[in-house]
A = this chain, B = another copy of it.
Amino acid sequence: MLQREKVAQAVSILREKQTDCWITFVRESAINGDPILDYLIGTDVTWHTAVIITASGKSCVICGEYDRKTIENTGAFDRVVGFVKGIREPFLEAMREFHPASIAVNYSRGSEICDGITHGMYLTLMDLLQELGYQDRVGSAEAIVSAVRERKTKGELDCIREAIRKTEDIFAKVSRFIAPGKTEKDIAAFMRAEVEEARLEYAWDPNHCPAVFTGPDTAGAHYAPTDRPVAAGHLLNMDFGVKHRGYCSDLQRTFYILAPGESAAPPQVLRGFETLVDAIEASRKAMKPGVRGIEIDAVARGRITAAGYAEFPHALGHQVGRFAHDGTALLGPAWEKYARKPHAPLESGMVFTIEPRLTVPGHGVATVEEMVTVTGSGAEYLSSPQKELILIR
């Protein structure tokens, strides 16, 4: 079970990061959840809940009485304590017993997946820790939360592989559906019908999952499909992903719509597509544990600008896990919005997208997004990489 595996992994990460105690503190998690909660208890909680894991290996959850049995059933914790009226007393008692010298809490300026505690809950937690005189022992759990999410187990990788396989199946089916005259909305509807038919979940907001962009006048990215029809000479691209057992895929594929009499894409379209594919392969080859994401982003960005195309206005790749955008380490440039993420070193077990983009004037946008996992010595594809434009007749 994921929770048992991850709580045990967390203990070893606490030792590695020399932190005594890690507290995840939430309430009404269906409303304001902490994204790490799925890894620890795998269910929503209603009342104030503290998940306490210590470097000594002891762990404890304090929760509302009605949530107690569900959490006990994970088998991941030494002790689950339920309360009826309030968390204060059982929480103070547990913390007095653990008596930690350092306490990690889930907040982070720079990494949203490590920023699960709301400000009001942070204030409540600090009020409680102040009663024990522990308020100066608190720091960010960013390094711990990142490692728990990013170091994928074999079971997690298998789920991602399966999500990718199902995504590739739907891309194969839609390749036979796309035709001149069909609109972006028609194509998205076809793919959503496949998702519903297979009883899959979307990897992100279905308003733009899939995102479909055809021709030279598209919105760019993250925008809902429109009534714009496919026409000869268009580059068409799609961004699409599904979830399998809670784990996401996130892939992009590019299509070219042949004009009557054409049997291949024109040279400038082919050159754009091949520049992309080369940039992806060069990036993958440069990936290995210890390298920083900013260096990988620079590989792809450099190839694309060297070929005379404009810089893509986003990071080269992000991690994928229970969210389509997951993890802290990022294959990205040193832009303000990415904070310290591009500077985090790659580790074995991380799963990344590689997704450069470029515009071929008069035809549209070429984007290909592959998924790779970092191994002990390099990185290998999880997806079956797109090596040729998909031609639509």
Contact = CB atoms under 8 A, between A and B. Distances in A.
Query: How many copies of this protein are present in the complex?
Result: 2
Interface in A30-76: 30-32, 35, 43-44, 46-48, 64-67, 69-70
Nearest to A66: B222
A325 B30 CA distance: 9
B47 A337 contact: yes
Contacts of A260: none
Contact of A30 (B88, B205, B220, B313): B205
Interface residues of A, number: 59
Contact of A337 (B30, B64, B223): B64
Q: Is the interface of A mostly helix, strand, loop or mixed?
A: loop
Contact of A86 (B44, B64, B323, B335): B335
A108 B87 contact: no
B118 A222 contact: no
A69 B65 CA distance: 45
A116 B115 contact: no
Interface stretch (A7-15, A121-129, A343-351): A121-129
Interface string A202-234: 001101000000000001111110000000000
B46 A325 contact: yes
A83 B313 CA distance: 10
A267 interface: no
Nearest to A325: B28
B221 A31 contact: no
A117 interface: yes
A84 B108 CA distance: 21
A164 to B, nearest CB: 20
Interface of A: 27-28, 30-32, 35, 43-44, 46-48, 64-67, 69-70, 83-88, 105, 107-124, 127, 204-205, 207, 219-224, 313-314, 323, 325, 335-337
* Nearest 3 pairs of A and B residues by beta carbon: A86-B336, A115-B120, A66-B222
